[in-house]
């Protein structure tokens, strides 16, 4: 498929080939699914909504429910007010959600629909039942990425829902960033282990990895409740995981309800998990449990055991900024050398952060935001690496260049199981290290002559 990719790199300002990102509404839809009884609503055409649903379904292997304003030529010319009003009327009549989370698309953004005005008009007109909630986030696909859309919707939760009663409660808000349901569950496990009361928002665990019971539930009995969203304004601290995904929401909550916020990297690997656990420990004013210390010790033991296979290996990474930054730190902790790290999401902060992490091991690391996998492939042809880490779209590069490949991030559409096992925390780091070393060993098993194939490493 990529036989025609050459090693000659040409700067491209107006074109992205195989971009390492997708569009904002997908992120907004995913965040909305983490609220109990919430119906994500795509204010645009049917095709947009169908693509966003299918992309999430292919990654999570679960049916993704969402509604659409179903724009036609008329709405494209005259605006989507009538479409959204009719949609809200139908949604509450047919599907009866507790909340509708409206996100925009390219078309409604270009038209310039005033969503808050439309929501108010629908509410005043009786199309929103008493006690039900409609919120919105602007998510134009021609800006940012799916991570930006996720961040905008999480900020909308704060804008619309967070309230301050004036009484500060002994509760911590945790904004988890865009991670899989298993990672949300791992965040909760660590917080519960430390012994702190918390509100996780959003929370897709048991929503996009529901048990098979033989009975379909449109709104699983899981996710962050509306009452919990409102109560975020009374917490004494917010911990945000993943700067691009949650900084705006944390800052908005601090400004709106005077809840101080602390934003840190996703707890991927040793150092980032240490930082998260320490933040929880300080907030709870408790000691780290011995069992959690043992879990950390098992990770360190595995890192030590596997160091001979990871040391000095050159790595290429791509994906979402928050994921790639944390994973870059982890591979450095493993004694590996990040050679190139790219993301399709715009933002110079990503490049600065990668340079900062790599300043002692590889000050010449190639760090690029708003880049694409085509550039990554060309760069690898000129600067060979030992390992590629990224989402499903990297498999073609790995195959063409005969590289060990570790699937990581979003989307992973050609494998199953990733949604069930966390990559966050100490246990997630152990699993990631296993995947990395397995990729190296599998390549050796394929290529070594029979007399050098080892049964014991």
Condensed to tens digits (0 to 9), the pLDDT of residues 385-397 reads 999 999 999 999 9
Number of other residues whose CB lies within 10 A of the CB of residue 110? 12
Domains 24-143 and 169-284 share a fold: yes
Residue 376 has pLDDT above 60, yes or no: yes
- What architecture is domain 290-452? 3-Layer(aba) Sandwich (3.40)
Contacts of 219 (CB under 8 A, 6+ apart): 36, 37, 38, 97, 98
Section 303-332 average pLDDT? 97
Average pLDDT over residues 282-297: 97
Catalytic residues: 106, 110
pLDDT average, residue stretch 16-30 = 93
| Long-range contacts (CB closer than 8 Å, 24 or more residues apart) made by 71-78 | 71/44, 71/45, 71/46, 71/107, 71/108, 72/45, 75/111, 76/107, 76/111
CATH 3.40.50.1980 fits 169-284, yes or no: yes
- Least trusted range by pLDDT, from 27-31, 108-112, 372-376, 395-399: 108-112
Spell out the residues 6+ positions from residue 99 whose beta carbon is closer than 8 angstroms to its own.
35, 37, 38, 39, 132, 133, 134, 135, 226
| Per-residue pLDDT at 456 | 79
Question: Do residues 373 and 1 touch, judged by C-beta distance below 8 A?
Answer: no
pLDDT confidence of residue 3: 67
pLDDT of residue 107: 87
Which residue, 427, 419, 379, is CA-closest to 403?
379
pLDDT, tens digit (0-9, with 9 covering 90-100), for 257-277: 999 999 999 999 999 999 999
Tens digits of per-residue pLDDT, 140-175?
Answer: 989 999 999 999 999 999 999 999 999 999 999 999
Where are the domains positioned within the chain? 24-143, 169-284, 290-452
pLDDT of residue 2: 59
CA angle 43, 372, 152 (to 5 degrees): 30
The pLDDT tens digits of the residues spanning 120-136 come to 999 999 999 999 999 99
Q: Is the pLDDT of residue 374 over 70?
A: yes
Q: What percent of the chain has pLDDT over 90?
A: 86
pLDDT of 1 over the 60 cut: no
Question: At residue 139, does pLDDT exceed 70?
Answer: yes
Q: Read off φ and ψ for residue 261, nearest 5 degrees.
A: -125, 150
- Where is pLDDT greater, at 451 or 357? 357
Q: What is the pLDDT of residue 73?
A: 79
What's the whole-number average pLDDT of the chain? 95
**pLDDT above 70: residue 373:** yes
Q: Does the pLDDT value for residue 356 go beyond 90?
A: yes
Residues in the chain: 457
pLDDT at 265: 98
Q: Is a pLDDT exceeding 60 seen at residue 82?
A: yes
**How far is the CA of 289 from the CAs of 193, 194, 292, 345, in angstroms?**
7, 7, 5, 38
CATH superfamily for domain 24-143: Nitrogenase molybdenum iron protein domain (3.40.50.1980)
401-419 tens-digit pLDDT: 999 999 999 999 999 888 8
Give the percent of the chain with pLDDT over 70. Answer: 99
Task: State pLDDT tens for residues 417-437.
Answer: 888 899 999 999 999 999 999
């Amino acid at each position: 498929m990529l036989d025609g990719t050459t090693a000659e790199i040409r700067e491209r300002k107006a074109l992205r080939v195989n971009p390492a990102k997708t569009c904002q509404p997908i992120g907004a839809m995913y965040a909305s699914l983490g609220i109990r009884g919430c119906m994500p609503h795509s204010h645009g055409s049917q095709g947009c909504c169908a693509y966003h649903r299918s992309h999430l379904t292919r990654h999570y292997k679960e049916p993704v429910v969402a509604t659409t304003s179903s724009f036609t030529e008329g709405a494209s010319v005259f605006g989507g007010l009538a479409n959204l009003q009719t949609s809200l009327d139908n949604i509450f009549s047919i599907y009866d959600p507790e909340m509708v989370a409206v996100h925009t698309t390219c078309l409604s953004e270009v038209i310039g629909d005033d969503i808050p005005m439309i929501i108010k008009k629908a509410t005043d007109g009786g199309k929103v039942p008493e006690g039900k909630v409609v919120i919105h986030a602007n998510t134009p696909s021609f800006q940012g990425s799916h991570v930006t859309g996720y961040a905008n919707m999480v900020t909308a939760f704060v804008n619309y829902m967070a309230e301050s009663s004036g009484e500060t409660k002994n509760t911590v808000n945790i904004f988890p960033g865009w991670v899989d349901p298993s990672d949300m569950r791992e965040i909760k496990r660590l917080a519960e282990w430390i012994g702190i009361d918390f509100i996780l928002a959003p929370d897709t665990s048991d929503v996009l990895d529901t048990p098979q019971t033989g009975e379909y539930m449109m709104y699983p009995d899981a996710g962050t409740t509306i009452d919990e969203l409102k109560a975020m304004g009374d917490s004494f601290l917010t911990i945000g995981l993943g700067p691009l995904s949650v900084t705006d929401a944390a800052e908005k909550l601090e400004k709106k309800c005077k809840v101080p916020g602390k934003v840190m990297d996703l707890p991927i690997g040793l150092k980032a998990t240490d930082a998260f656990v320490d933040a929880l420990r300080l907030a709870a004013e408790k000691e780290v449990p011995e069992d959690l210390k043992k879990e950390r010790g098992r990770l360190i033991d595995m890192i030590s055991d596997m160091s001979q296979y990871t040391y000095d290996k050159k790595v290429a990474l791509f994906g979402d900024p928050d994921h790639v930054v944390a994973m870059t730190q982890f591979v450095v902790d493993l004694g590996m050398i990040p050679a190139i790290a790219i993301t399709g999401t715009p933002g110079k902060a990503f490049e600065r952060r990668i340079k900062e992490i790599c300043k002692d091991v590889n000050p010449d690391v190639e760090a690029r935001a708003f880049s694409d996998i085509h550039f990554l492939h060309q760069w690898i042809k000129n600067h060979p690496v030992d390992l590629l880490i990224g989402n499903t779209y990297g498999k073609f590069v790995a195959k063409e260049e005969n590289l060990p490949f570790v699937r990581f991030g979003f989307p992973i559409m050609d494998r199953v199981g990733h949604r069930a096992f966390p990559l966050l925390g100490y246990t997630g780091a152990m699993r990631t290290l296993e995947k990395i070393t397995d990729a190296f060993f599998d390549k050796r098993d394929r290529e070594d002559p029979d007399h050098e194939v080892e049964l014991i490493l």
